[in-house]
Chains A and B, each alone.
Chain A
Amino acid sequence: METLSERNYLNEPWGWKSWIFTLDHKRIGVMYLIAIMASFLLGGVFAMLIRMELLHFGGKHLMGAQTYNQVFTLHGAIMIFLFIIPSIPAALGNFVLPQMLGAKDVAFPRLNLASFYIYVFGALFAVYSMSTGAVDTGWTFYTPYSTTTNTSVISMTLGVLILGFSSIFTGINFIVTVHKLRLPGMTWYKMPLFVWSLYATAIIQVLATPILGITLILLILERTLGIGIFDPAMGGDPVLYQHFFWFYSHPAVYIMILPAMGIISELIPVFSRRKIFGYKAIAFSSLAIAFVSFLVWGHHMFVSGQSQYAAMIFSFLTFLVAIPSGIKVFNWLATLYKGSITLAVPMLYSLSFLFLFTIGGLTGMFLGALATDVHLHDTYFVVAHFHYVMMGGTVMAFLGGLHYWWPKMWGRMYSEFWARISAILVFLGFNITFFTQFILGAKGMPRRYYNYLDQYQPLHAYSTYGSWILALGFIVMAVYLIHSLVKGRRAPDNPWQSLGLEWTNSSPPPPENFTVTPKLTHGPYDYDKIVSGGSAG
């Protein structure tokens, strides 16, 4: 077994206190990574419980109705707030962003650490709420149900509120880092596209999350002081809550997908050994998506009783926001053209993403179109759609990025063989689990149902079987990744021969990122200028 002997950010400084009080963005990224993986595990366990319960119809199998309602609420809230929103920016982004810019750290390292502890505090609150009567409202906390149910809405929403601050601080940090800490000579158009995507994401984080904050504050005040803002008996309007909530939560889904798209923009050029096609189109489409994402929240409310006029506007804008995403997909596809392609594991995940995200995005069309949305809203079709974009999209990209930067992060290689097995299991399991749900939903199966009519049973069964394959894939992944930390082959500085700045330092990097301040001699995708085998010089 080879140990990592040279000084790197993992072993210098030494001691657990140096980790707890660290200001090193790489260490903070690693701590975030562990936290979000734990959250993914917790959320995933709840998912497995849901699918087990739904294997058969008719009454109680594993749990009663009330417990089931709490389990699906927790699955959603944990996956969204504790896992997916921080996942790419806080774990991978924190680790990689300064290195990609040639910087020593993010703009505000102490704020970064604070951000992490706020995340932990918020996550603990959310987990604590499970013990005091876990919330059963669905992750959307719609009023008046959420203001009248006797489960712990307040502690869960407080937890989410706190987590929101973590997200805001990460956003502020990244925006300032990108503006102020780039290497001299790195103009905006010389930045890697992952940076562009993190920048666009940070803008959304900063503008949208405060709205979530005030929405949750209003919800808490309604429950404690009976403010009445959402209570029809007191002159309030429950649908107003939906407007407030979705004004954040729709941009939030772009917080989830934009960084993922950024990762894909990194991986495909490396493993096609080619310059990315349409750099500017991809960069600007990220900004366009960030902007338009604020204008479409009403598409979650087409059947809430809103006016047809409002519905029309939201539907139209929803279709518009799809176009930049489509542009990206075509540009990525074109990057494969005349490339020199290897199917390393990060590339497998990127291609998975292309396929699965395209399906997810296209199924959004059914929901954006008013007449079909009426039939599909609040059915399993919606559940399948968002799992295709969030899991088939963001999680696949996250896994691709994880497998790409893993050697950089830990100085170890994982088993390529087992990683491929896992990727195949995950891909297969995912499709079986969720494609069946498109059919379920279109056939009329509503979501958030504990029980269902027998006609839906076969499809539910297939979906559950798929979830077992998916879980197996993740178990295999956990095993080989942890194994690699202990017994993995020592990783070279640049195993993928990528031209990114983050690959010019050692694997793992030194605490200050670069022992010599890097000089910018080429862009991150200049594979047409540099013969393979070299790293930047």
Chain B
Amino acid sequence: MEHSNKHTPHLAHHFGEMEQQRESAKLGMWIFLLTEILLFGGLFAAYAIYRAWNPDMFYNAHKHLNIYLGSINTIVLISSSVTMALSIRSMQLNNKKRTVIFLVATLLMAAVFLVIKYFEYHHKFELGQLPGKYYTYTGIEGTNPHIFFSIYFMMTGLHGIHVIAGMGLITWMLRKTMKNTFSPEYYTPLEMTGLYWHLVDMIWIFLFPLLYLVG
């Protein structure tokens, strides 16, 4: 049976060389991200349709979202993407300590995002601005104001679940980094996690104006 000349520790048996493996991982991850975009796409479509059917109500309802908290969250997520990218860069430069620092920073910012979201949700729960049949708030003009909040909770909820999943991935990468799994020659999982995190950020960048900046 043939063996490759350099038996690199992270090369899977069915790949000929590291480059092939890395390219495959990247291609696979991009396709996966595409499926995530399509998943959210359905919700974006629902948003578009219901906003077209109830333009005034959407405008009135969105005023009850806290634009300041939303903006802070946007900045927080964008920054977390920056720290994520920096952690990968650090590993490319073989700086394990910095990689860990930036990963931790990314995690912290993700946590801040979730905390702010918690406060936003809590406020809505208190007011009765809840999805679907649980909606009891009466202060919004327009037909069926619960629709806006149903869509708001569905979109930010699904996004939030992806943030939590991302935090799990980043924590896993943190552990691997601390165990010296990565090196400038091999940091593919880190890179893939970075791609995923950038997508999570990107989706928020679309969500934010659609929900918080209507009209």
Contact = CB atoms under 8 A, between A and B. Distances in A.
On whether A and B touch (CB less than 8 Å), the answer reads: yes
Interface of A: 98, 103-109, 111, 168, 171-173, 175-176, 179-181, 206-207, 209-211, 213-215, 217-218, 221-222, 225-229, 234-237, 240, 244, 512, 515-517
Contacts, number: 118
Contacts of B40: 214
Contacts of B35: 168, 172, 206-207, 209-210
A48 to B, nearest CB: 37
A222 B154 CA distance: 11
B72 interface: no
B7 interface: no
B12 A109 contact: yes
Given A175-B31, A221-B132, A104 B39 contact: no
Interface in B3-30: 12-15, 20, 23-24, 27-28
Interface string B32-43: 101110111111
Interface stretch (B60-68, B144-152, B164-172): B144-152
A105 B12 CA distance: 10
Contacts of A227: 131-132, 150, 154
Given A210-B35, A228-B147, A512-B13, 12 more contacts: A180-B20, A211-B38, A211-B42, A213-B39, A218-B46, A221-B131, A225-B131, A229-B150, A234-B144, A234-B147, A244-B42, A517-B2
B71 interface: no
B132 A226 contact: yes
Contact of A210 (B38, B45, B46): B38
Contacts of B178: none
A206 B24 CA distance: 16
Contacts of A106: 14
Nearest to B38: A210
11 contacts: A109-B12, A176-B24, A181-B20, A211-B41, A214-B40, A215-B42, A221-B154, A228-B147, A229-B147, A235-B143, A517-B2
B134 interface: yes
B49 interface: yes
A226 B133 CA distance: 5
Contacts of B42: 210-211, 213-215, 218, 244
Closest 4 A/B residue pairs (Cβ): A226-B133, A214-B42, A235-B144, A105-B14
Contact of A234 (B27, B39, B146): B146
Contacts of A221: 131-132, 150, 154
Contact of A180 (B23, B38, B147, B154): B23
